[in-house]
Chain A
Amino acid sequence: MTTIKTFFATPWGIISVGAFIGVFAALLQKWGNPANMGICVACFDRDIAGALGLHRAAVVQYMRPEIIGFVLGSLIAAYAFREFRARAGSAPIVRFILGAFAMIGALVFLGCPWRAALRLAGGDGNAIFGLLGLIGGIWVGTLFLKGGYNLGRSQSTHTSVGWLLPLTMLGFLVLMLIFPQVEGQDKSGVLFYSLKGPGSMHASLFVSLVIGLCVGFLAQRSRFCTMGAIRDFVLFKQTHLLSGFITLVVVAFITNLILGQFHPGFEKQPIAHTMSLWNFGGMVLAGLAFALAGGCPGRQLFLAGEGDGDAAIFVLGMIVGASFSHNFGLASSAEGAGPHGISAVIIGLLACLFIGLTMRKEVA
């Protein structure tokens, strides 16, 4: 057990986890998930919001089992290695707002950092602008961190506090089992399903859930984080997490080549648009919000699984942000940015600047 525990803290540990995610994200695409979207935490949280009817964009409604698996896999790993620690109370409202704006930014680009990597690995050149935006946003975040920005201490709390998001995810899974997808119908019981579009494309529940659980388990152990990868390099010149992120891209690229899923170009890429400035701008907002909140969307799910109630609030903020994105016409489509997407990015950046500039408490 100790050997396994220390392995994941080594460079080979994080590299093997990046490789695992790269292979299985590409395979999930072959097994039914949307193109260049084997795993996308932003898109999948958005699909969950759709499945619950929080927004009614007909093409993006599906209770993604990968997300459920991420949280529960992390919970299992945290208990197996005695790391589950319920904690909460570090500026929850700020984390909620950051989660919402992170999602709004990510949906202007059309993807979280994981999907940005997978889009690049699938040949989508537009992802380059998204990744540059992500780096830019995180870089701005590091300036705030250097200036003393922090959200204050969390407190240890009742174990059950840490269980609430995992239990919510378990509840979502139960809903899926009670109200399974019915061929040709857009609703089953309380859950919405897509008949066309990305929401209708998915691997089987079992495959998605098992891969989600494995990724959740491994990522909890290795602390895999795409935002941390870039932040730690900018702040400390540390390449530990970065090696995992780069491995994900390379391995997903190789897997795509083998599976015939690599199609280089900018035009007509799956679930993507070519407005470079807003591919960039959306991810500046997302990157800055992730940096201020201390983790990429995936990492927030894994933290929530190991008892972090503040990360759980960020996750809920993302689901609500996704709902606003589609209800208000903020999310992009293949045609380009949504009617109010650009205004939302600007408002989001102002909100992040307000948070970053005003929340600098001296450490007591």
Chain B
Amino acid sequence: MSTIVDARGFSCPQPVILTMNEIKKVKKGEIVVLVDTDTSKENVSRAAASQGWTLKGVEPEGTGYRISISKD
């Protein structure tokens, strides 16, 4: 069961802050982050990698992206 972080509409650095907060909270498992700009997609992916999380997939959703990250 993955948690969803809805960062759509938020500008830099909010999507990364929201993702990092969730990473700190759940520690491991799977998180889905919804973003609506390419900048946020890159920033969230980079931030997740820096915390040792794996980027499982990025799919277009609506006008933005659905990013899945996980850590065992």
Interface residues of A (CB under 8 A from B): 9, 81, 83, 85, 87, 90, 145, 150-156, 223, 225, 228, 231-232, 235-238, 240, 294-295, 303, 308, 310, 363
Contact = CB atoms under 8 A, between A and B. Distances in A.
Contacts of A310: 11
Interface of A is mostly: loop
A87 B8 CA distance: 11
Interface of B: 8-14, 16-18, 20, 36-39, 42-43, 46-47, 50, 63
B63 A85 contact: yes
B14 A154 contact: no
Contacts of A237: 50
A9 B12 contact: no
B37 to A, nearest CB: 6
B9 A9 contact: no
Given A150-B14, A156-B36, A363-B18, A238 B9 contact: no
Contacts of A308: 11
Interface of B is mostly: helix
A294 B9 contact: no
A236 B50 contact: yes
A240 B13 CA distance: 14
Contact of B9 (A81, A153, A295): A153
Contacts of A85: 36-37, 63
B46 A238 contact: yes
Contacts of B36: 85, 87, 156
Contacts of A238: 46-47, 50
Nearest to A240: B46
Nearest to B62: A156
- Closest 5 A-B residue pairs measured CB to CB? A153-B9, A294-B11, A9-B42, A154-B9, A83-B38
